[in-house]
Chain A
Amino acid sequence: MSIWSDEEIAHRIAQDVDESWLVNVGIGMPQIAVEPLNQRGIMLHSENGIIGLGPSPAPGREDPEVIDAGKGFATVVDGGSFIDSATSFMLIRGGRLGLALMGAYEVSVNGDLANWRLSGRKIAGIGGAADLAFGAARVWIVTSLFSNDGKSKLVHSCSHPLTAPGVVKRIYTEHGIFEPAGDSFRVVSLPEGMSAEELFEKGVPISIEALSPR
């Protein structure tokens, strides 16, 4: 059984992005897509106030006033701009964001997203996650398919508090690419040698069609 590397996942995401989209790349695993998206010349948005987010700066070139939404040092590409927070979220809610790439704790079969607070934890930060999940034209998730305790993050129904209901269009993982299909997940693509049956047996609620012989 083979799984995709971060580089392979990132490459697939970059291939699937339309070059006209403005894309917000979330904190955590989605960051693997920054470099290939930059290389394709796709404009990236950071909700703290940057349009045209570039790669991390070279050592010694860090500027504490050029940071991304994860508060890491960043750069700005040619053609970029700085905006205030109100403008940044007008752009998100106003439909100018073609894609938000986000991490997830859980995604349900009908596209519900839980990615801000684990149930049982008292305090968590929402940041811009809800605005992005509600406002972006499409939400794609970039995550490991299984949590640290081996449970599928693709579920029938989320057990953690929702960030937004019914918004996720696609999920990119090391075990394949999936789409919420209402009562199960549709398999878009699997790594070579990966079997849908095996994922199903591990508790990933993928659709029956994926399990029938091709």
Chain B
Amino acid sequence: MSKTQIYATSAEAVADIPDGATILCGGFGGAGYPSNLISALAARRVSKLTMVANNAGHKALFDYGGVRKVVCSYPLGPTSKGFLEVLDRGEAELELEPQGTLVERIRTGGAGLGGFLTQVGMGTELAAGKQTVGVDGQEYLICKPIRAEFALVKAQKADRYGNLIYRHAARNFNAVMAMAAPVVIVEVSEIVDGYLDPDTVHTPGAFIDRLVKAE
């Protein structure tokens, strides 16, 4: 038996995400972005969300003021339209992290660790608010793990056991986020008959709670 449940629609797959939830959202720009799941959230007008993603490209959520906080590495560019207006109006907060630090904070969150140490950002304003610690004569910044209640992920193929294969450069943050929340919801292009070859699986179904075929 698999714990992974297959949902008929994106709306049902995100039906229990409450106001105020913290959500990990896969993708780099549009590649690997779970747009059906985000649209389904927007349709419910879920509010006060904290969105953790590489970019701030959640236009469907910004349009009705559904986001309270964005944690990302790059809040500009065509995928981030709408965010700056919300930020300007003081309706949202931004936490900016170097991309590698952001993904590692998510990875350590999923791995059950208390964070990690890095020198990236030391001696710059990117270190603001972070404690430092010395290890073997080297100074490091202490980076806390990121934990979230839900992860929204996009994959290319899945089997009914929840095993996933990503396509090309759409793997990006998805593979890490799929291991970093107690409820992982995956939008896939295809759910195969039978099962995926175990040698080809990128993320094992043991991490995956819900699957829905992209509408």
Interface residues of A, Cβ cutoff 8 Å to B: 46-50, 63-67, 71, 74, 76, 82-86, 88-89, 92-93, 123-131, 134-135, 161-165
Instruction: Tell me the smallest distance from the CB of B83 to a CB of chain A, in Å.
Output: 9
Contacts of B202 in A (CB 8 A): 84
Tell whether, in the assembled complex, residue A131 and residue B99 are in contact, meaning their CB atoms are under 8 Å apart.
yes
User: Considering residues A89, A126, A127, which has the most beta carbons from chain B within 10 angstroms of its beta carbon?
Assistant: A126
Instruction: Tell me the smallest distance from the CB of A113 to a CB of chain B, in Å.
Output: 10
The residue on A at minimum CB distance from B167 is: A65
Tell whether, in the assembled complex, residue A165 and residue B171 are in contact, meaning their CB atoms are under 8 Å apart.
no
Report the Cα distance A119→B99, complex, angstroms. 21
Given contacts A64-B30, A162-B124, contact A127 B119 (CB under 8 A): no
User: Considering residues A67, A71, A93, A125, which has the most beta carbons from chain B within 10 angstroms of its beta carbon?
Assistant: A125
How many residues on chain B are close to A (CB under 8 Å)? 47
**CB contact between A49 and one of B97, B98, B169 (< 8 Å): that residue:** B169
Q: CB of B120 within 8 A of chain A?
A: yes
Given contacts A67-B28, A129-B98, contact A85 B79 (CB under 8 A): no
Secondary structure at the A interface, as helix, strand, loop or mixed, is loop
B112-136 with Cβ < 8 A to chain A: 118-126
Q: How many A-B residue pairs have CB under 8 A?
A: 131
Q: CB of B107 within 8 A of chain A?
A: yes
Tell whether, in the assembled complex, residue B31 and residue A123 are in contact, meaning their CB atoms are under 8 Å apart.
no
Contacts of A124 in B (CB 8 A): 76
Given contacts A67-B28, A71-B29, contact A84 B172 (CB under 8 A): yes
Stretch at the interface among B13-21, B38-46, B173-181, B190-198: B173-181
Instruction: Tell me the smallest distance from the CB of A150 to a CB of chain B, in Å.
Output: 26
Given contacts A123-B76, A125-B74, A125-B76, contact A49 B84 (CB under 8 A): no
Tell whether, in the assembled complex, residue A131 and residue B120 are in contact, meaning their CB atoms are under 8 Å apart.
yes
Tell whether, in the assembled complex, residue A131 and residue B101 are in contact, meaning their CB atoms are under 8 Å apart.
yes
